[in-house]
Amino acid sequence: MKKDIILCGVGGQGILSIATIIGEAATKAGLYLKQAEVHGMSQRGGDVQSNLRLSTDPIWSDLIPEGKADVVISMEPMESLRYLPYLAKTGTIVTSSKPFINIPNYPDESTLQAELDNLPSVVKLDIDSVAKDAGNPRGANMVLLGMAAPYIEILTVEQLRKAISVIFARKGEAIVESNLKAFDMGVEATK
C-alpha cells in the first residue's frame, strides 16, 4: 500500500508540525517514508509545502509527480488549489474553508469556494472555529490533521493520536491533551 500526501499552507500555520506527526506515526508503523519540503518560513505568510510519501514497499523518489497525490491537506483554500495539478483523479482535498488573506490580490472568496465545490472530492471546514471550540485556538492544524486522518488510510487514527502524544510530550501533558482534543474534533467533523 502507498499514500502520497501533499501538505500546504502558509508560514506559521503548522504545516511542518503535521508533517512531523505523520512522519513519526509512519516510522513507528514501520513504513517507508520519503519527505521533501519547500518553505518560506523566514517570512510569516510565505508558501509552505511538504511532499510525504508513505509505503509498505521501498520508495525511490521524495517528490510526488503531477497527478499522483492521493490527498492534498491544506491549511488554506487558495493553497489547496495551487497544488491541484498534483492531485490524482481519485484524490481528495482536505482544506480549511477560511482563507488566510496574506496578499493584496487574493482571489474573491466566493469564487474560490465555488471552485472548490466544483471538484469531485473536497472536505472543508472552518478549522479555526473548531480549534477555538476545542479550547485550543492555535490547534487548527490538529483539527485539519483529524479531518484528513480517514483519507490517509495507511495510518490509523490511533497511530496518529500516539504520534501527537510523542511530538508534543516535551511541552507537557496539558499541551498534549489540548492537541488531541483538537485532532479528535477534526476526526468527528468528517463523520
Q: What is the pLDDT of residue 43?
A: 54
- Domain housing 23: 2-189
State the pLDDT at residue 103. 79
Q: What is the pTM of this model?
A: 0.93
Number of domains in the chain: 1
Q: Could you please report the per-residue DSSP string of the chain? A: -EEEEEEEEETTSSHHHHHHHHHHHHHHTT-EEEEEEEE-TTSTTSEEEEEEEEESS----SSPPTT-EEEEEESSHHHHHHTGGGEEEEEEEEEESS----STTPPPHHHHHHHHHTSSSEEEE-HHHHHHHTT-TT-HHHHHHHHHHHHH-SS-HHHHHHHHHHHHGGG-HHHHHHHHHHHHHHHHHT-
What's the pLDDT at 44? 56
CATH number of the domain within which 73 lies: 3.40.920.10
Tens-of-pLDDT digits for all 191 residues of the chain?
A: 999 999 998 877 888 899 999 999 999 999 999 998 765 554 555 678 899 999 999 999 999 999 999 999 999 999 999 999 999 999 999 999 998 887 788 889 899 999 999 999 999 999 999 999 999 999 999 999 999 999 999 999 999 999 999 999 999 999 999 999 999 999 999 87
